[in-house]
Every structure is written in structure tokens, then in C-alpha cells.
């Protein structure tokens, strides 16, 4: 059976700022420059004030005037990211980066040598912390969709494995907005159908979803709502 890990750095840009300036630790830190700029990252202390990525910096400053705002350092982020990806590739050649701070890994073939999925996940987390000085959250499942949901569910600095026999128990209570492909427009269409959870989508006829959302989107959401995702981890350059 295929085993996929999704690894996501915790508040990556803000974590790098704290790494480079330890005096920031424990304080609300926001990465974003200029009143007219947008927030690139906020640590968990800043998120308690409601600050989120993509929010205007001016608004974030009004919400948390005592937060510390730091300018982004993209060269430094790329440097740390490269080190993180090297760690991932030491566990498996099948690594699919999604951005500087997250990636999928297919560890199916690594288990005979490196141990159980949980042991591999813990080893990855330990090396990222020890060698890069930041934390990450790890989701483990039999496909990409569930692995990514799992990593989001255990943030920050956690690990969650979703076994196939408990997949629907985990998936179906989640809100529809947790699904890939559900933005504001699709969310409104689902709301009109009275669908609020992923379980609601799963228990709606595929044809109904296809009529409301279009053939491709409706069929895709139906499959995902049953935890079915056939996409492989792609390490194509």
C-alpha cells in the first residue's frame, strides 16, 4: 500500500526570523513590509490576534500594534528551504515540493529500511529541527489529499497518521472549505445545496454535484469526499 507524507513548515517565514533573532521568540512576529504591503507570515502568537497571511500590513498593525513587524528575506528563506528539501530527499527520492515550505514524499519503498511511517515522520521532524532550527508538521496517509489534511490538522509542530480504516471518520466531519478546489464561489454553490461538511458532499449523488458545479469539478469533489485521490507524488524537475 502506498504511504504518503505531507510535511509543512510551521509559520515558515516567521520561524526563520525567530531563528535569526532569538530575541523574537515568544513575541508576536509578523513578516511583511510597508503599510501598503501584505502579511507573508505570522507566528502563532500573532495569529491569536487574528492576523493571517495575505492580510494588508496596515490592518495587521491595527489589530496588534505591539507585534513585531520584520521585512522579508527571500534569499534566507530559499537557503533554509534548500536544506529542508535535502533532508526530505535523504529519506526518499520521491519528493514533490509544493512551495518553499512544504512537500509531499512517497515513503512506500523506504519503510523496509527506515521503519514504520510514524518512525519515518518523527525522524524527518527531528532532523528538520536539529539541522535547520525550525519545526514542521507531518501528515501521513495513503494519498496526497488526506496527508495534506492531516498535516493541517496537527499544526503546529505535530504529526498525525490517518489509517485507511479511520479515513472517513476523520474526513467526513470536516467543513467543505477544507477540500481542495473549494474556494468562495464553489463554497457558495455547495451552501445553496445545503452541503456543509465533506460527509454531506459524499452523500450527495455525483450527478447532482456535476450539475451544480460542472462535470469535472463535481466528479472530483465527489471522489475526494470519499477519500479517493489517485495522484502520484511527482518529482519531475
Residues labelled catalytic: 102
* 74 contacts: CB under 8 Å, gap ≥ 6: none
CA distance 203 to 206: 9
Cell digits of residue 146? 488526506
Cell digits of residue 174? 470536516
Degrees to nearest 5, angle at CA 168 with 165 and 170: 100
Q: What is the DSSP string of 127-142?
A: HHHHHHS--EEEEEES
Amino acid at each position: 500500500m502506498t504511504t504518503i507524507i505531507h510535511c509543512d513548515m510551521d509559520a515558515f517565514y516567521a520561524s526563520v526570523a525567530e531563528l535569526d533573532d532569538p530575541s523574537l521568540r515568544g513575541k508576536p512576529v509578523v513578516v511583511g513590509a510597508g503599510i501598503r504591503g501584505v502579511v507573508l507570515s505570522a507566528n502563532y502568537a500573532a495569529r491569536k490576534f487574528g492576523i493571517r497571511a495575505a492580510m494588508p500590513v496596515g490592518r495587521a498593525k491595527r489589530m496588534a500594534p505591539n507585534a513585531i513587524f520584520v521585512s522579508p528575506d527571500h534569499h534566507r528563506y530559499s537557503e533554509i528551504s534548500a536544506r529542508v528539501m535535502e533532508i526530505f530527499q535523504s529519506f526518499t527520492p520521491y519528493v514533490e515540493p509544493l512551495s518553499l515550505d512544504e512537500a509531499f514524499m512517497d515513503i512506500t519503498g523506504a519503510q523496509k529500511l527506515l521503519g514504520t511511517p510514524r518512525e519515518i515522520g518523527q525522524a524527518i521532524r527531528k532532523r528538520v529541527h536539529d539541522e535547520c532550527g525550525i519545526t514542521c508538521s507531518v501528515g501521513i496517509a495513503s494519498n496526497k489529499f488526506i496527508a495534506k489534511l492531516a498535516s493541517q490538522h496537527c499544526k503546529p509542530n505535530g504529526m498525525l497518521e490517518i489509517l485507511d480504516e479511520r479515513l472517513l471518520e476523520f474526513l467526513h466531519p470536516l467543513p467543505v472549505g477544507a477540500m481542495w478546489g473549494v474556494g468562495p464561489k464553489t463554497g457558495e454553490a455547495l451552501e445553496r445545496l445545503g452541503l456543509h461538511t465533506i460527509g454531506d458532499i459524499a452523500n450527495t449523488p455525483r450527478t447532482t454535484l456535476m450539475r451544480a458545479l460542472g462535470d469535472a469539478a463535481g466528479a472530483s469533489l465527489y471522489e475526494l469526499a470519499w477519500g479517493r485521490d489517485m495522484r502520484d507524488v511527482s518529482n519531475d524537475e
